[in-house]
Structure 1
Amino acid sequence: MKNLSLLLILAALHVPAILLAQENIGKERPKITSPQVSKDNIIEFQLYAPEAQVVYVNGNWMEKPDLGIAMQKMQDGVWRLDKQQLGSDLYQYTYTVDGVRINDPSNVYQVRDVNNVFNYFIGNGGVAELYKTQSVPHGTMIKQWYPSALNKAERRMTVYTPPGYESSKEKLPVLYLLHGMGGDEDAWPTLGRVAQIMDNLIAAGQAKPMIVVMPNGHTSNVAAPGSSEKGEYPIEFYTPDVGTGDMESSFMEIVQFVEKNYRVKKGKADRAIAGLSMGGSHSLFISAFNPDTFDYVGLFSAAFRINDKVKREVYDQFDANLKKQQANGLKLYWIGMGKTDFLYQTGVDFRKRLDAVGLKYTYHESEGGHTWSNWRQYLVEFVPQLFQ
């Protein structure tokens, strides 16, 4: 009994040392849950900052996110912002404390968008339920390296395979899904919630099982920041490859790798290509340059010619290629654009090109602008129409 008591005393004496040795425990703070999301999407924010003078919440749902909304300081040193009524979506935010932008230390859920990192939360009901990991069969998301003749090196892409792919022998159709400027092969999986959307649509019987291939569209980078031999380099929005035609001209090496290494169908009717912004530009040029390759094309807030000084066949022969694409026929040419998107007029002008060659398309105009809120929604609307 004496030996047991001695052991308990020694253990108690060692507890503080063990806690101090634990690397990331840090100083104990008041227990705060932030943000708090009610069932009807009323949001409350809290931040413990007893020495701060001014604190703002900066959210992407706000009319002026850079200015934000001021929080109120309570006697316990906790700043609060109550009763923000939001809709059904995924939202990003940060705090500004005495002029310095910080992330919410009470919210471990973060996402990178180009060279910024934001906290995020997901509302309830409606389309937001598709962005959540639900209790349904899950597909697999992998980082796939492939040899690139363009880079004379391996490049990386993200590949989603649907539930049951590993145990099945069935061949599947493929959606090639392209990101925007400043993005990479991590953009659609994280900001776009591709795995969650695909799992949930397939489980609900609203989409056919398919493989989704998400390459890195910046050909001057072989992989996302921190995932290549370049190491932890400063992230550029406008990389040297933008507008050069390299991605568009070399894209078929990705298709060829996928069709050699994955169990896929290889016909035009079994291939789709879609992209947002710069990726929309890539998609329209790639599909026209290979006019008998894709039966489904999706343009989400698409740019057009990003650098009109570059002379490349993929650009210079576009109108002729577009006529070939129209003559070969497509099952779906889908265009989505927000009413306040800065590329709105670009979209108007591009649709006139399609009208001039008689290429039929489906046009969807939404509220809002050049945002992931729109692009996720466009994906949700586009995918159920594929491979029917």
Structure 2
Amino acid sequence: MYKKIFFTLLVFSTSIMMQAQENLGFGQRKEIISPEIHADNSVTFRLLAPLADSVSVTGDFAQGHNKMTKDADGVWSFTTRTLPSELYTYAFTANGLQMNDPNNVHYRRDVASTLNVLLVGGGQADIYKVNNVPHGTVAKRWYESPGNKTDRRITIYTPPGYESGNTSYPVLYLLHGMGGDEEAWPTLGRATQIIDNLIAEGKAKPMIIVMPNGNVAQEAAPGESSEGFYKPTFRLPNTMDGKYEETFIDIINFVDKNYRTVRNKSGRAIAGLSMGGFHSFHISRYYPNSFDYVGLFSAAIMPNENAKSSVYKNIEDTLLKQKQNGYKLYWIGIGKDDFLYQANTDFRKKLDGINFKYAYRESEGGHTWRNWRVYLSEFLPLLFNQ
């Protein structure tokens, strides 16, 4: 075990030093390109690790560990099959220890893990790119939350032209899943690129997108608050216990006070993935006359049996009230292999039983960002058009 650790650290430090020398002009080795996306959309990964016994690459482009082969210069490589257009994450494993690709500076944090990213274009992922179109503004704001007795951080997107105009815009409240925070949708979800591109193509209405932190135990994302640089954890205090739903009105009040918004339910949408879908479901019926558009992406549905908040009482009655008040779109998306598939099936039966109309999108795959990015790109064009 100690040998593996020693070799892996040595491999990593050697790679970094070689790159540093090359960047300074002292290195004589050929530059290592990783990842390299080929014309046929296959991808080659490379890692300089001359002392490693084994190296593999894992990612959402394939299942399991993909063994890499070493050449005479100590460079390990692996080439994938032709890949569908998508935003992919990956990591290397050298001598049993996972590491990032030292030749790829692009990565994303997902809870406590950091993974490299690459984008294969020519299809769905083109909407995830920063394209040559007008861009909106992404602001990291702090708002007062009287319900939580603290200031909290929030990410807010305003559409192109917002600062120079006087138009009032509709608002989408876009919520993350468990373990996420106000950084999740802009980074892993590519939400701002998606909306920029859809607006430019005339497929979505210009709108404000509000991406809050759904963990009331946090002021902000790890490293962005007075708590400092602590290790993120998956489940935090007050997770899905009703506190977030109870205090969500603080977010709406802040946005309506500080931005030019359409301040009625025809100008409000709420959507989220997993825990964020759970929050969207319960917030939209707890405030049953506040949102004309609701999106549940791979949503958790029913509260834990230990959750005693009044938010989770009279669920069917509040759904009936929401139906009575009227709404324009109730959108549900779920993957066939998602562990929440059955919960969503049962929920749809409940909605059918009270004649609560909804749109349903069933996709391949499971509980993944690949699905959630697609759901968002399909949901946004449906908003504020009716």
Query: How high is the TM-score relative to the length of structure 1?
Result: 0.91
When residues 289 and 25 of structure 1 are mapped into structure 2, their CA distance, relative to the original with a 3 A threshold, is farther
Cα distance per residue 1:246-273 (max 9 Å; x no partner): 1111111101110010011111111000
Task: Write out aligned runs for 1:1-388 (5 A).
Answer: 28=27, 30-64=30-64, 68-388=65-385
Indicate if the aligned counterparts of 1:174 and 1:212 stay in contact, CA closer than 8 A: yes
What are the ranges of 5 or more consecutive residues in structure 2 without an aligned counterpart?
1-19
Q: 1:7 aligns to what?
A: none
How big is the shift at 1:111? 0.4
Q: Once the two structures are aligned, what percentage of the paired residues are identical?
A: 55
Letter matched to residue 58 of structure 2: N
Q: After the TM superposition, which of the residue ranges 233-242 and 93-102 deviates more from structure 2?
A: 233-242
- When the two chains are superposed, the root-mean-square deviation of aligned CA atoms in Å is 1.6
How big is the shift at 1:317? 2.1
Cα distance per residue 1:14-41 (max 9 Å; x no partner): xxxxxxx99x969946411111112431
Q: After the TM superposition, which of the residue ranges 369-378 and 74-83 deviates more from structure 2?
A: 74-83
When residues 26 and 330 of structure 1 are mapped into structure 2, their CA distance, relative to the original with a 3 A threshold, is farther
Poorly superposed stretches of 4+, deviation over 6 Å:
24-27
Larger radius of gyration: 1
Cα distance per residue 1:45-72 (max 9 Å; x no partner): 11111111100001112223xxx10000
Q: 2:14 aligns to what?
A: none
What is the alpha-carbon distance in structure 1 between the residues aligned to residue 246 and residue 210 of structure 2? 18
What is the alpha-carbon distance in structure 1 between the residues aligned to residue 362 and residue 79 of structure 2? 33
What is the alpha-carbon distance in structure 1 between the residues aligned to residue 92 and residue 379 of structure 2? 34
What are the ranges of 5 or more consecutive residues in structure 1 without an aligned counterpart?
1-20
What is the alpha-carbon distance in structure 2 between the residues aligned to residue 26 and residue 80 of structure 1? 25
Q: 2:6 aligns to what?
A: none
How big is the shift at 1:126? 1.3
Letter matched to residue 275 of structure 1: G
Indicate if the aligned counterparts of 2:147 and 2:250 stay in contact, CA closer than 8 A: no
When residues 49 and 295 of structure 1 are mapped into structure 2, their CA distance, relative to the original with a 3 A threshold, is same
When residues 204 and 228 of structure 1 are mapped into structure 2, their CA distance, relative to the original with a 3 A threshold, is same
Q: How many residues align?
A: 364
Cα distance per residue 1:60-108 (max 9 Å; x no partner): 12223xxx10000000111111243210110000000000100000000
What is the alpha-carbon distance in structure 2 between the residues aligned to residue 266 and residue 55 of structure 1? 55
What is the alpha-carbon distance in structure 2 between the residues aligned to residue 30 and residue 251 of structure 1? 54
How big is the shift at 1:312? 1.4
SS at match of 2:81: strand
